[in-house]
Copies of this chain bind each other. A is one copy, B any other.
Amino acid sequence: MSAAHQAIRTAGPKLAVTALEATGDTSYSACGIPYWVAGDVSSADALVARTAEQHRKAGIDLRLGATATGIDRQARTVTYRDAAGEQVLGYDELVIATGASAVVPDWAVDPRTGQRYAGVAPVKTLTDGAAWLDLLAGLPGGGGRVVIAGGGYIGVEMAEAARRRGHTVTVITRNRVMSSMDPDLSARIEKGMHEAGVRVLTGLPVVRLDVADGRVRGAYTADGELHPADLVVLALGVTPNTAYLDLAELPSGPSGALRPEPDGSLADGIWAAGDCCETRHRLTGTWTYLPLGTHANKQGRIVGTNLVTPGALRFGGVLGTAITRFAVDTTYLEIARTGLSEHEAAAAGIEVTSLVTEGSTASGYMSEADPITVKLLAAPSDRRLMGAQIVGGRGAGKRVDAVATALWHGATVDDLAWSDLSYAPPFATAWEIVQVAARRLADRL
C-alpha cells in the first residue's frame, strides 16, 4: 500500500492503481500485535494505520479477499481468486508485495483436518491477534500454562504479554533467546526473563505436541521431555509468500524470497518490495532475508516513486538494525542490535574483534541510571565498526541508532569514540557509554 500511495502521489490521479489483498485487512502494524495481546493497545482498529476506505479515498482500487494466484509476464496479466472465482487483471507495471506468513510446522497441524490444533497459533495477522485475546481470556486467571516455540522477537514479546497477563510461561528455542545477538548478550536477556518468572529452555526445539481431542496439552522437546501447555505460541519466524510465482523465472534466493535491484525492479515491468524480498546487507554486500516493516515501508516508497520516475530512488541496503524490549513487573530490558554479530561476521568471512562494555544509561547519581551493556564489533584490518548489540534499562535501546548511522557511513571505532554525542546527567554519562565502548575497542585493535 505504501507503493500504491507513493505512485499516486508521484504521478497524480491519472494513474490507475489496483491493489489485491488476500485478507480483509490492510496497512496494520503486525509489530503491534504482541502489545495488543498484552493489553497495551485498546483495539485492533488502533493498529490500523490506514483503513480500506482511506486507501480508496486516495484513489486506489483496493480489492480485499483477492489472493494473487499467478502472473503471466508475456500477457502482462495477474490472476487472482476472490469470492466470485478466478479473475484476470492486466498491468503496465506490477508490484509484488505479497509479504510473508508465519511458519506453521507440521507438528502444529492436525493431519486429519489440515488445521492447527486448538490452542496453537502464530502471531502475524490481526486475526491471529484476536485469536490470542480469546485464547488467553479462556485460561484461568494466573493459572494458564503458555509454551512459546521460538525465542526471537515475537517469542520474547509474547513471553512478556503472557507473563504480564499472569500466566506460567515457558520459552522453548532450538538455539537461544534472541539468536541474532551473540551468546553473551543472549545470556543477559535470558537472565532477565528468568528473573521475571519465565522459564527459558534453549538448545532444543519443540518437535511434537501432546494432543487430546484436537486440543494441545503439551509440547515435546527433542530430548523427549513433555512440557505441559494449555496454549502454544508459534514464534518460529516467517516465510515469504511467493509460492504462486514461478521462482525459476524471477531473481530469487534460497529463502524463496525475491531479489529486486536497488531501485526495486525485478524484471521487465515487475517490481518487488517488502517481506517477500531479500535485501542486500550494506556491510557484506550479500543477500539476506530480514523481513521487517522498516525495510518494507522504505522499499514500497521507492518502488512507488521509481515506477513513475525511473531511477529516482535507490534502496541503500540493510544493516540488520532491530530493537525490542522485555518488560514484566520490575524487570525492564531494552534489546537492540545493528550490523553483524560474531556469527554473521564469520559466515561472511570478515575477521572481527569484539568487546563488551558495561555502563550506565545516565549519570550514576541520577535515579534514571540503569545498567547498560554495549557490545561492539570491529574489523581489526581497517578499524571499521561492524556491529553493535545493546541490552539495558530505559533509554538503552535507541542508542543503537547512533551506531547504525556510523555503520551506514563506514565509520571506524575511532570515529564513533571521538564524535560529538549528547550528554546531560538524566541521559548519559559524561563519556557516553557507546563512546566508551568504542574507545575501549579501539584500544584493543
- A-side interface residues toward B, CB under 8 Å? 29, 31-32, 35-36, 40-42, 46-47, 49, 153, 282, 292-295, 297-298, 313, 315-325, 334, 336, 338, 363-367, 395, 397-406, 408-409, 411, 415-416, 418-428, 430-432, 434
Extra A-B contacts (11), CB below 8 Å, given A293-B423, A338-B422: A29-B365, A31-B425, A32-B366, A41-B365, A292-B423, A294-B421, A313-B418, A325-B427, A399-B401, A401-B422, A409-B411
In the complex formed, the residue of B with least CB distance to A318 is B420
In the complex formed, the residue of B with least CB distance to A327 is B426
- Some 12 contacts from A to B, beta carbons below 8 A apart, are A32-B363, A32-B365, A41-B366, A294-B422, A295-B420, A298-B418, A319-B420, A322-B422, A334-B427, A397-B422, A401-B421, A405-B405
Q: Are A430 and B31 in contact (CB under 8 A)?
A: yes
Q: Are B419 and A323 in contact (CB under 8 A)?
A: no
Q: Are B297 and A418 in contact (CB under 8 A)?
A: no
In the bound complex, how far is the Cα of B430 from the Cα of A294, in angstroms?
6
Chain B residues with CB under 8 A of A416: 405
CB distance from A151 to the nearest CB of B (A): 16
In the bound complex, how far is the Cα of B364 from the Cα of A387, in angstroms?
30
In the bound complex, how far is the Cα of B363 from the Cα of A297, in angstroms?
15
Q: Are B363 and A316 in contact (CB under 8 A)?
A: no
Chain B residues with CB under 8 A of A334: 427
Instruction: Tell me the number of copies of this protein.
Output: 2
Q: Are A404 and B423 in contact (CB under 8 A)?
A: no
In the bound complex, how far is the Cα of B282 from the Cα of A278, in angstroms?
38
8 tightest Cβ-Cβ pairs between the two chains A and B: A409-B409, A46-B365, A323-B422, A401-B402, A405-B405, A319-B420, A408-B419, A321-B420
Chain B residues with CB under 8 A of A432: 294, 401
Q: Pick from B31, B398, B411, B430: contact of A398, CB below 8 A.
A: B398
Chain B residues with CB under 8 A of A325: 424, 426-427
The residue among A334, A336, A366 with the most chain B CB atoms within 10 A of its own CB is: A366
Q: Are A425 and B32 in contact (CB under 8 A)?
A: yes
Q: Are A29 and B421 in contact (CB under 8 A)?
A: no
In the bound complex, how far is the Cα of B411 from the Cα of A405, in angstroms?
9
Q: Pick from B324, B398, B418: contact of A395, CB below 8 A.
A: B398
Chain B residues with CB under 8 A of A297: 430-431
Q: Are B293 and A430 in contact (CB under 8 A)?
A: yes
**Known contacts A297-B430, A363-B29, A431-B297; A404 and B424 CB within 8 A of each other:** no
Chain B residues with CB under 8 A of A317: 420
Chain B residues with CB under 8 A of A316: 415, 418-419
CB distance from A437 to the nearest CB of B (A): 13
Chain B residues with CB under 8 A of A405: 402-403, 405-406, 409, 411, 416, 419, 421
Q: Are A420 and B46 in contact (CB under 8 A)?
A: no
**Known contacts A398-B395, A411-B409, A423-B292; A418 and B315 CB within 8 A of each other:** yes
Chain B residues with CB under 8 A of A397: 422, 427
